[in-house]
Amino acid sequence: MLYIGIDLGTSAVKLLLMDEEGHIKNTISKEYPLEFPQPGWSQQNPEDWKKAVLGGIPELLASFDKSQVAGIGAGGQMHGLVVLDENDQVIRPAILWNDGRTAKEVEYLNEEIGREKLSALTANIAFAGFTAPKILWMKKNEPENFARIRKIMLPKDYINYILTGVHCTDYSDASGMLLLDVEHKCWSKEMLDLCGITEAQMPKLFESYEAVGTLRPDIAAQLGLPETVTVCAGAGDNAAAAVGTGTVGEGACNISLGTSGTLFISSDHFGVDPHNALHAFAHADGHYHLMGCMLSAASCNKWWMDDILGTQDYSGAQAAITDDMLGRNHVYFLPYLMGERSPINDTNARSVFLGMTMDTTRTDLTQAVLEGVAFAIRDSFEVARSLGLDIRHSMICGGGAKSPLWKKIIANVLNVELDTPASEQGPGMGGAMLAMVACGAYPSVQAVCDKLVRVADTVHPDPAIAARYEERYRQFSQIYPALKALYPKML
């Protein structure tokens, strides 16, 4: 049988077709626009996601027997606020994960409601990207639209609704809304009340690998698929990517180097970082995970290459960076192009190059961008270490992981072994694997990961380079604290 995986990203949806043995039969990508109506704002029209998915699936299946498709699973960008009216029509553009308009709402939640109370209710504190602050912003700034809300959901849940007619979400994605009691896996009535919404407005909760329904007859006809195709709840993009890299079970780790960057640590047990620098979320395997998320990772390099240097030759720009240069760069880069989440939680933070001199070269700056992202990942890694987690190796995925140089830098900055999966398809592969479990092809998420995930190569840290980076990281870690007080004055 065949399974469709949907990776509903920020700039495009990526669709893949996969069989039960893990062979990728086909992939396609459909781009859609991203809106920045004001500085720091980021939103999208959910109808663009719908058109991309419904238009892309027939293309994906064009040369295949559609009757063999058994299931569909999605991994999607997290936190985005999708609101529907009484006719299930989209009320306004979705406010996305990297939107920074909710600074006042975040301050209200963390300072007036209180971090300790939020953590007790949801296992997390408020971040600008989370959904609850967006709801409060909408309530204050768009009261007419707020009054029309009949359903609140997340981006990939809107796609699942289009496919099945079911208002649903999964625990991993819901964990990032600041509305879920993560430990007990239920909506927090106190948080819903605080936001002025009801449980009736929330989608039904499922485990990621559970079936939420089958295709609506009209959608099945439009796609040319059987109405019996099972759609699973799916997962937030990081949890889905973790499944795709086999990052399940106690202590498994994955670094995702996509538009955003994440450090993902799987656990069989619920646990909370006492400082809430790392998110405590449910995992797609039915258990839990800790996660550090930086808002700009591979997008920093894309910005640097595309917008500043004006080139698409990424590998060419990195070719001049040799091993002897690693850990010796005199230029630092703070990767806060969209503010920052983990672990500093500062929407006012901005990027900066520091340490340039008359002999600084374009190559030095390119290296600084790559290293700055690695150092910021190390910031979350340090929090994990402070909790007693001893991480010696990690999987790595995402577009940035296609760079051998960047992987070498990260391996040495973190001083860990980095494994690259043989089939690196991110959240889409994880979504398809979750669909296999929903359809009964595998008994559990652990089982499908054990069967399908293989390591293609491993990058080992070099003791000499790692030692040099240790010193550079200690210097990097002093830059943000020195600049923190200046950022609000620059707005």
Do residues 472 and 479 make contact, with C-beta atoms less than 8 angstroms apart?
Answer: no
Backbone angles phi, psi at 314, to 5 degrees: -60, -50
DSSP for 40-81 reads T--EE-HHHHHHHHHHHHHHHTTTS-GGGEEEEEEEE-SS-B
Euclidean distance between CA atoms 414 and 408, whole angstroms = 10
Report the candidate in 336, 365, 371 with the shortest Cα–Cα distance to residue 351: 336
DSSP for 324-384 reads GGTT----EEE--BTBB-TTT-BTT---EEE---TT--HHHHHHHHHHHHHHHHHHHHHHH
Q: How many CB atoms lie within 10 A of CB 21?
A: 7
Do residues 81 and 95 make contact, with C-beta atoms less than 8 angstroms apart?
Answer: yes
Tell me if residue 237 is catalytic: yes
Beta strand extents in 176-305 (DSSP E only): 180-181, 186-187, 204-206, 211-214, 230-232, 235-236, 253-257, 261-267, 279-282, 288-294
Euclidean distance between CA atoms 213 and 357, whole angstroms = 60
Do residues 176 and 279 make contact, with C-beta atoms less than 8 angstroms apart?
Answer: yes
Tell whether residue 78 is among the known ligand binding residues.
Answer: yes
β-bridge partners, 12: 31
Tell whether residue 356 is among the known ligand binding residues.
Answer: no
Euclidean distance between CA atoms 338 and 39, whole angstroms = 10
Q: How many CB atoms lie within 10 A of CB 491?
A: 10
Length of the chain equals 491
Candidates 157, 237, 273, 379; catalytic one: 237
The alpha carbon of 396 is separated from its chain's Cα centroid by a whole number of angstroms, namely 13
DSSP for 177-196 reads GT-EETTTTEE-HHHHHHHT
Catalytic residue annotation: 237
Residue numbers in the known binding site for substrate are 78-79
Residue numbers in the known binding site are 78-79
